[in-house]
């Protein structure tokens, strides 16, 4: 028997007019008769850190039973993924305690380190960036930071002792280097696919080519001539997905300049929240598929957000509603918002599950931490935190389990366990103890 299959490098990219576009994992990138696990194409964990503000109504989040569990109202949208879902209860984050409330909640979620009281940031390295140092250095972007709202410049989630450094990001590359969360879809698209970084550069690029894919069509067609039928289909589907996102991004500015009610929103950023957040998640999925990054973080909305949710029957602003004062009507509205956020997460997970990756799907090779650094938003407390781990995680997390730990177990113990399952060796995170979280 003769084996003639050629081995295509995992780093293969399409090129055209100074542009490069990464490709998804193709069968042609796996040497003939070689088990996938023994190749450079062996599935590597893809990590996601998805943060929502203002905590959760905990009796609508926390399962009643330990071990195997029934989904609570807020978690019901995750029913298709329950076998890969772990809920962790009893955890607290002392790093976020204090009168600063919203000002320190996001920036301490992934570090477990109490920040210094200063307007110059000094906190802890977050686990997404620890992972980026270990499993993100062989991708074009070690990590990707996304948001849906512009950060506050003053007031709101800022604080007179801590400033604004910790309220608008969940990611710190070093103790003094918070990473900005990008909320403009145009900027994210350019970051992933290299469309230009200034207005002048973008205009020049538009004159040179109509779209990114048009510029690389010749290289793409040449590559497809060397591929098998299944790989040809994968490349075509991937390029079509890039084109669709490009179309959506380009169309976002249409009609925005006439919206006098929202002058603070720059042209090109959609006023519709669902459109905006789904586009951000779609670009995160594309970044995974193209091996542009294996690590992303997302703030579903900003701390002390005043978003309204008329699309689900909640016309009042998010942050004021979160101060529910035990009013049943306000609590019901919060549950609606929190369930809606979970539905958006479920849509993203379904997209990953439908995305082939090596010997399975991208969902099979992804592990996501989903949660908040606040518990009862009316009390502004940080215990017990709503936390979930979801995804196939390369088979490294059991799933379909509710783990209940001793009250006020540090969230840092979960962060340490998360890194361990991702294959990132770490001895200690923040105030972690020797009590391991058994994911």
Judged against a pLDDT cut of 90, whether residue 189 lies above it is answered with no
- Average pLDDT in the 132-146 region? 90
Over residues 153-166, the pLDDT tens digits come to 444 578 878 888 88
Region of residue 297 (left: phi > 0; alpha: psi -120 to 50; beta: else)? beta
CB 283 within 8 A of CB 189: yes
Q: ∠ CA(242), CA(245), CA(248), 5° rounding?
A: 150
Q: Rounded to whole angstroms, how far apart are CA atoms 48 and 295?
A: 6
Quick check: 379 pLDDT over 90?
Answer: yes
Confidence at residue 212, expressed as pLDDT on a 0 to 100 scale:
62
Contact residues for 327 (Cβ-Cβ < 8 A; gap 6+): none
Reference 277, options 336, 341, 362, 370; nearest CA is 341
Average predicted confidence (pLDDT) for the chain: 83
> What distance in Å separates the CA atoms of residue 432 and residue 388, rounded to the nearest whole number?
18
Q: Cα(373)–Cα(384) distance, rounded to whole angstroms?
A: 9
Collapsing DSSP states into helix, strand and coil, what is residue 336? helix
| The token pair that represents 13 in the structure block | 């990219």
Predicted local distance difference test score (pLDDT) of residue 436 = 81
At 191, the pLDDT band (50, 70, 90 cuts) reads confident
Cα distance between the two ends of the chain: 45
Q: What angle do CA 180, 186, 192 make, to 5 degrees?
A: 75
Least reliable range by pLDDT among 45-54, 149-158, 352-361, 410-419: 149-158
b/e map 352-372, b = 16+ CB within 10 Å = bbebbbbebbbbbbbbbbbbb
Confidence of residue 226 (pLDDT cuts 50, 70, 90): confident
What is the pLDDT at residue 235? 74
Q: Quote the CA–CA distance of 24 and 231 in Å, as a whole number.
A: 10
User: Is 60 exceeded by the pLDDT of residue 139?
Assistant: yes
- Write the pLDDT tens digit of every residue in 241-265: 677 666 666 655 443 333 333 323 3
376 has pLDDT over 60? yes
Distance in angstroms (rounded) separating the CA atoms of residues 247 and 243:
6
Cross-strand partners of 361: 356
Specify the residue for token string 């200690």: 428
Q: What is the pLDDT of residues 391-419, one digit of tens each?
A: 999 999 999 999 999 999 999 999 999 99
Q: What's the burial of 26, exposed, middle or buried (CB within 10 Å: 0-12/13-18/19+)?
A: buried
Phi, psi of 303, rounded to the nearest 5 degrees:
-65, 140
| Residue 137 CA to its chain's centroid (Å) | 18
- Per-residue pLDDT at 9: 65
What predicted TM-score, i.e. pTM, was given to this entire model? Answer: 0.79
- Domains of the chain (ranges plus CATH)? 46-183+275-439 (3.40.720)
């Amino acid at each position: 028997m003769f084996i003639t299959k050629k081995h295509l490098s995992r780093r293969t990219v399409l090129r055209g007019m100074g542009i490069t576009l990464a490709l998804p994992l193709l069968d042609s990138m796996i040497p003939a008769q070689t088990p996938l696990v023994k190749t450079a194409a062996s599935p590597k964990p893809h990590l996601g850190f998805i943060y929502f503000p203002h905590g959760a109504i905990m009796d609508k989040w926390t399962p009643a039973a330990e071990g195997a569990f029934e989904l609570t109202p807020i978690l019901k949208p995750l029913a298709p993924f329950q076998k890969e879902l772990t809920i962790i209860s009893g955890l607290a984050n002392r790093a976020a305690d204090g009168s600063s409330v919203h000002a320190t909640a996001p920036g301490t979620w992934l570090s477990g380190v109490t920040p210094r009281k200063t307007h110059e940031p000094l906190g802890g390295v977050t686990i997404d960036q620890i992972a980026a140092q270990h499993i993100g250095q062989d991708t074009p972007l070690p990590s990707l930071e996304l948001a849906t709202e512009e950060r506050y410049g003053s007031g709101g989630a800022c604080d007179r002792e801590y400033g604004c450094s910790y309220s608008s990001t969940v990611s710190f590359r070093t103790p003094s280097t918070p990473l900005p969360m990008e909320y403009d879809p145009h900027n994210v698209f350019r970051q992933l696919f290299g469309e230009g970084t200034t207005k002048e550069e973008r205009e020049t690029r538009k004159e040179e080519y109509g779209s990114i894919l048009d510029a690389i069509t010749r290289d793409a067609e040449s590559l497809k001539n060397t591929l098998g039928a299944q790989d040809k289909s994968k490349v075509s589907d991937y390029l079509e997905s890039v084109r669709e996102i490009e179309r959506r991004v380009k169309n976002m500015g249409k009609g925005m300049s006439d919206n006098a009610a929202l002058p603070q929103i720059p042209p090109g950023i959609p006023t519709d929240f669902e459109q905006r957040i789904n586009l951000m998640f779609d670009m995160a999925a594309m970044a995974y598929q193209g091996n542009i990054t294996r690590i992303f973080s997302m703030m579903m909305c900003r701390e002390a957000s005043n978003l309204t949710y008329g699309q689900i029957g909640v016309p009042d602003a998010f942050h004021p509603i979160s101060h529910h004062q035990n009013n049943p009507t306000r609590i019901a509205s919060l549950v609606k918002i929190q369930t809606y956020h979970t539905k958006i997460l479920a849509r993203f997970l379904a997209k990953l599950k439908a995305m082939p990756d090596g010997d399975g799907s991208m969902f099979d090779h992804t592990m996501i931490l989903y949660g908040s650094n606040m518990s009862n938003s009316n009390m502004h407390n940080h215990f017990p935190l709503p936390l979930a781990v979801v995804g196939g995680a390369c088979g490294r997390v059991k799933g379909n389990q509710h783990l209940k730990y001793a009250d006020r177990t540090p969230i840092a113990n979960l962060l340490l366990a998360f890194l361990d399952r991702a294959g990132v060796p770490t001895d200690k995170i923040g105030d972690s103890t020797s009590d391991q979280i058994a994911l």
